[in-house]
Chains A and B, each alone.
Chain A
Amino acid sequence: MAKMNYGKRKADLERRSVTGPDGEVFEVDPMKNYFCEAPPKVYKPSPLTPLEKFYNWCRAESIYILGFGTGCGAIEMRPLMSPMYDAYRYGVHWRPTPRQSTVFVIGGYASVKTIKRIIRSYEQMPGPKYVLAVCSCTINGGMYWDSYNTINRLDHYIPVDVYVTGCMPRPEALLDSVETLKKRIKEGRAEGQNKYAENFEWYKANQKQIIKDWDMPDYNW
């Protein structure tokens, strides 16, 4: 079996010159070329209140969940697609790419390795974006509260809209949390994206405290 080369990925991110197939030499700076380094902006809601209310209603009634199971709680998402619970009738869909989803369901404990991917996926999602934190582990660490490689409070790293307690919560609880999220969106209180942009430094400092091998720009689209 081929040996995995774990050090290779980091070297790939370094600045270097590459010779093209026709002998042309060009500079490659992956950190600049592959990522966008622009910091997040605060997006003001539309000044026309009825219009913004309608937009928010649309956002609430069409929920695209990112199909990224980050912990054991993610298994509770699957029954929602089945005939028994059928979340589709509430306007809930699943998308396989962060670019096209609006709701991120963090399913339970987030290890240091996972939180890095969570941050990257969260930042790639177009706004307005919402986060549902499922299971006790996202609130206070739950049964992993003194674990060496698991974070305790998720909202130190990304803004959370709705928490679902339990270890593990039933699918019904998850459906109920979606309804709560809808209510928040319709009231215009689910502005997690703007909260993240406003307190960007604080979130980044917290993230960097946990993630030791920070091999990406501060803001990666």
Chain B
Amino acid sequence: MEFKYINILYAAITIFVTINYGLLLQGIIGKIYARVGKRVGIRIYQPWINIIRQWVTRSSIHHGIMYYLGPVFRFTGGGGILIFLPVIYGAPLFSSFVGTGDLLLVLYFMFIGTLGMALGGGEAGHPYSAIAVTRGLSQVTAAEVPLVLAIFSLTIQYGTMDIMKIVEAQQGSVLNWTLFTNPLATAAAMLAFLGSMMRSPFDVVLAPQEIPIGPPTEYQSQFLAMLMTNRTIFPVAKTVFYVTLFFGGIPLYDSFLLTFAVFFLKTFLVYMWSVFVGVSFPRFRVEQSIRFFLKWPLLIGAAAVIAAQIRY
């Protein structure tokens, strides 16, 4: 795909829209959580106020260069996934750099944020940051194994690493979705999905009651605002990634409303998967979660690779 300058603008618009959508999602999920606990809950627009308030903090301190780069890495992780994905398949505005990167690149972007946080949190020098980063890295690494196996299986199935071709192959009928053509890979990937959504049972990284807040313990003011912005992008980017690979993508319909409804429904349901599991299960310790990922999800992932090898 040739490079066009307009794509930079498109990517910026995609990220802006995603931030707002992520904030809306945060508000809705906060409300649902509250209603489950018989509370009134936050206002739907509360996440917007929180983020603006954080951006206009007056005083701030820093601990060095890596402290600055931590949030930038994190933001690159979230934004990178987004701009290399066809967020809405067939709409040039929402698939700005799609042809330029493949699955491997997106996988790399998924990990880079955690690495950036390790460097930034490490420079902040708080012991809780170091503990949390160690936990986070080991957990994410363990969760990546089944995900990578699932993606190997997809690569064998579709014979390509080009995301666009994978979405293309899933169009036409619901039965063309990877969910139905390769259920084992979907199962492995959906289990891996839980590992990086920062929700129970895999939220020992943040563990507010034990190691206050975790990696960003020392982050404040605009640094934290940057992290919070990424916190809204990253889950949406991840859900879009999963929807694109396993649930038929989000095709562009004639009606804008229909497109948005499909986008909302698919991402919301995939996101809710982690929420449902989160409210049902208590927190794992790190070694428990690593053992979990290296047991059933790993076996399912390996089975998916073997099955794909036999079938295709």
Taking CB as reference atom, which chain A residue is nearest B125? A34
List residues of B (34-49) whose CB comes within 8 Å of A's CBs. Answer: 34, 37-43, 46, 49
Main secondary structure on B side of the interface with A: loop
For the complex, give the distance between the alpha carbons of A59 and B51 in Å.
10
A83-B39, A100-B216, A126-B221 given; 9 more Cβ-contact pairs under 8 Å: A41-B59, A43-B59, A58-B49, A62-B53, A86-B41, A88-B41, A91-B43, A126-B59, A126-B60
Q: How many residues of A contact B (CB 8 A)?
A: 26
Q: How far apart are A191's CB and chain B's nearest CB, in angstroms?
A: 10
For the complex, give the distance between the alpha carbons of A221 and B54 in Å.
18
Determine whether the beta carbon of B43 is less than 8 Å from that of A100: no
Taking CB as reference atom, which chain A residue is nearest B54? A62
Is B58 positioned at the interface, with any CB of A under 8 Å from its CB? yes
Which chain A residues border B30 with CB–CB below 8 Å?
88
For the complex, give the distance between the alpha carbons of A95 and B217 in Å.
10
Q: If the complex has contacts A36-B61, A88-B42, A126-B221, are A58 and B212 also in contact, measured as CB distance less than 8 A?
A: no
Residue among B37, B58, B212 facing the most chain A CB atoms (10 A cut-off) = B58
Q: If the complex has contacts A62-B53, A96-B212, A100-B219, are A126 and B58 also in contact, measured as CB distance less than 8 A?
A: yes
Which chain B residues border A86 with CB–CB below 8 Å?
34, 39-41
Which chain B residues border A55 with CB–CB below 8 Å?
52-53, 56
Q: If the complex has contacts A58-B53, A61-B49, A126-B58, are A83 and B37 also in contact, measured as CB distance less than 8 A?
A: yes
Is A183 positioned at the interface, with any CB of B under 8 Å from its CB? no
Q: 9 interchain pairs (CB within 8 A)?
A: A40-B59, A59-B53, A62-B54, A88-B42, A91-B42, A95-B213, A99-B220, A100-B219, A193-B58
Q: How many residues of B contact A (CB 8 A)?
A: 31
Out of A88, A95, A97, name the residue touching B39 (CB < 8 Å): A88
A-B CB proximity, top 7 nearest: A96-B212, A99-B220, A62-B53, A43-B58, A58-B53, A127-B59, A89-B40
Determine whether the beta carbon of A62 is less than 8 Å from that of B61: no
Q: How far apart are B45's CB and chain A's nearest CB, in angstroms?
A: 9
For the complex, give the distance between the alpha carbons of A91 and B38 in Å.
17
Q: How far apart are A128's CB and chain B's nearest CB, in angstroms?
A: 6
Which chain A residues border B43 with CB–CB below 8 Å?
89, 91
Is B12 positioned at the interface, with any CB of A under 8 Å from its CB? no
